[in-house]
Amino acid sequence: MNELNQLTVSCGQTLQKVFVLGPDKKAAGQIPSSITLERDSRLDVVLVILPGAECDIPLSVRLAGEGCEANVSGLYVCDSSQKVKIAVDMFHVVPHCNSRQLFKGMAAGNSRVDFYGKIVVAKDAQKTEAYQENHNLLLSDFAKVDTKPQLEIYADDVKCSHGATVGRLNEEEQFYMRSRGISLEDAKVLQMISFVSPVLEHVHDVELREKIASEVEDSLRTLAV
Amino acid sequence: MANDILLEIRGLHACVEDKEILKGVDLTIRKGEIHAVMGPNGAGKSTLSAVLAGKPQFTVTSGSITFMGQDLLAMSPEQRAWAGIFLSFQYPVEIPGVTITNFMKTAVNAHRQGKGLEPLKAGDFLKLMREKMAFVQMKPEFAKREVNVGFSGGEKKRNEIFQMAMLDPTLAILDETDSGLDVDALRIVANGVNALHTPEKSAIVITHYQRLLDYIVPDVVHVLKDGKIVKTAGRELVADIEEKGYDIY
């Protein structure tokens, strides 16, 4: 676990990595803890954390060459006493780079989610665009979500934002769907799927995306009962 | 004849957050009848429709509702929909991330499952959807739009009638379907409702104004005021109300 797993995306290259974490934990060890992007490279990382996957994921991304773009997104479906911890550090050290972080998920049972996301824009990293979002649904009174978005900006010509929310499933939507004959369980699944689908959009391979979407839907169905 | 009765409401009392809104409503609707429920703001019109559809925030404290011989109050909102009740919402709800196609496919197949039928084949479903969208003059591209998100008032109401056409209910409840509609949209919506009407089906048209009732002509008109039906008469009552207002009741 402490083994430093480093990765570099070379000049002009594109790297997409999708990690699906189930209860078997095998994939967790493959997630790099540190990724460096060289000039004009592009990174897409998608994390999918399913029920039963205990994990503590620190990920540090360094946009080290001009003109690079990093997208780091993730979704989590947490249940029972599961603990999920995600910490992303996004370092902009040179000008003209973009980064986006989108993390969405839900906490049911007694589960606990800790999200920590930081954007650092160094003094020389002008014309940076960096965005971070973390949105959560609490599905039980005993689940807990702790989200800590952080911005550290030392440059003055940048576009940066962050947003974090913790909410519950909307009951007006549920009644509307039920009044059309959709069962409460199916209504919740539809709500949850639509909540996390913007994350799944980041999986470019359509076949893989559909496979993951159906795994996610199966896991959401167990939460909706 | 008793078996003509579709819906029977007896002594219905209902409250929301401890505030009593319905204070003893009696209403009988026979097959094929269109009933208008009119009344001033705050009379309990929308509460009546919400209670009929089974909205969880409303509590029925006493009384009964029988729909086609079944105890409606014992049924969940989805069971009521399967049994043939449809509520057209005064304020249709936006469901971000869920497309109309996905929403209606789930709804139609849930109804079919309720009747012990197989899900519709994808091709048949899309054909049905295209047909019903054309029926309420909804553009085909709406199929891919998220439910009610960014819709104008008229588009939302047309979407309600489209859903009604898809689900083909036995009892349609139109809650202030005329609010926020211009004349053209009102006509499209009313034509839709009229075209879906058969001698086996009934409708409750809830409205504040006469306007919609010029297009959907009721058999029976009720005035609901302060949680009670204070007057019931034929369609001539509509003109009377328009002239004299609700104060005389």
- According to DSSP, residue B105 is labeled H
Asked whether residue B156 carries a pLDDT value surpassing 60, the answer given is: yes
Tell me, what's the pLDDT at A3? 52
- Contact criterion met (CB < 8 Å) for B87 and A179: yes
| CB proximity A184 to B under 8 Å | yes
| Among candidates B78, B87, B103 on the partner chain, residue whose Cβ is nearest the Cβ of A183 | B78
Instruction: Output the six-digit token pair for B30.
Output: 């026979």
* DSSP letters for A72-122: EEEEEEE-TT-EEEEEEEEEE-SSS-EEEEEEEEEE-TT-EEEEEEEEEE-
Q: Does B95 touch chain A (CB under 8 A)?
A: yes
- Give the pLDDT confidence of B196-241 residue by residue, as tens digits: 999 999 999 999 888 899 999 999 999 999 999 999 999 999 999 9
**Structure-token pair, residue B214:** 């010029």
In sequence order, the β-bridge partners of residue B147 are B95
Whether B106 sits inside 8 A of A182 (CB atoms) is: yes
Alpha-carbon gap, residue B220 to B34, rounded angstroms: 7
Which residues of chain B does A182 touch, with a Cβ-Cβ cutoff of 8 Å? 78, 103, 106-107, 110
Hey, what's the torsion of the CAs at B17, B22, B24, B30, to 10 degrees? -130
Chain B residues inside the 8 Å CB shell of A194 = 95-98
Average pLDDT of every residue of chain B: 94
For B164, counting Cβ atoms within 10 Å of its Cβ (0-12 exposed, 13-18 middle, 19+ buried), the class is buried
Identify the pLDDT of residue A143.
97
The rounded distance, in Å, linking the Cα atoms of B95 and A172 is: 9
Q: What is the pLDDT of residue B184?
A: 87
Please tell me whether the overall predicted TM-score, pTM, comes out greater than 0.80 for this model. yes
Interaxial angle between packed helices B122-135 and B153-167, expressed in degrees from 0 to 180 and rounded to the nearest 10: 130
pLDDT of B181 reads 87
Region B137-165: mean pLDDT is: 94
Question: How far from A176 is each of A85, A180, B48, B156, CA to CA, in Å?
Answer: 35, 7, 16, 13
Nearest residue to A138 via CA among A172, A116, A115, A113: A113
Q: Are B38 and B240 in contact (CB under 8 A)?
A: no
Contacts of B81 in chain A (CB under 8 A): 178-181
Residue A192: list chain B partners with CB under 8 A.
none
DSSP A52: T
∠ Cα A114 A22 A49 (to 5°): 35
CA distance to A5, A56, A223, B217, B247, per residue, from A217 (Å): 31, 23, 10, 46, 55
Q: Is A123 on the interface with B (CB under 8 A)?
A: no
Residues of chain B with Cβ-Cβ distance to A195 below 8 Å are: 97
Q: State how far the Cα of A116 lies from the Cα of A100, in Å rounded to an integer.
A: 14
Q: Which of A165, A177, A185 is the best substitution to test chain B (most B C-beta atoms within 10 A)?
A: A177
Please tell me the predicted confidence (pLDDT) of residue A2.
43
Q: Do A171 and B56 touch (CB under 8 A)?
A: yes
A191 shares contact with chain B (CB less than 8 Å): yes
**Cα B121 from chain centroid (whole Å):** 28
Long-range contacts of A185-191 (CB under 8 A, 24+ apart): A185/A221, A185/A224, A185/A225, A186/A224, A186/B106, A186/B110, A188/A220, A188/A223, A188/A224, A189/A217, A189/A220, A189/A221, A189/A224, A190/B95, A190/B98, A190/B102, A190/B103, A190/B106, A191/B95, A191/B98
Amino acid at A69: E
Of the candidates A172, A180, A193, the beta carbon closest to that of B107 is on A180
Put simply, whether B144 touches A (Cβ < 8 Å) is no
| Mean per-residue pLDDT, B21-33 | 97
DSSP E strand stretches across chain A: 6-9, 14-21, 34-37, 42-49, 55-63, 69-78, 83-92, 98-107, 112-121, 129-138, 144-153, 159-167
Give the integer Cα–Cα distance in Å for A2 and A34: 12
What ipTM does this complex have? 0.96
B contacts of A193 (beta carbons < 8 Å): 97
- Of chain B residues 32-91, which have a CB less than 8 A from chain A? 53-57, 76-78, 80-82, 86-87, 89
Rounded mean pLDDT, B89-94: 96
Q: What is the pLDDT of residues A107-139, one digit of tens each?
A: 999 999 999 999 999 999 999 999 999 999 999
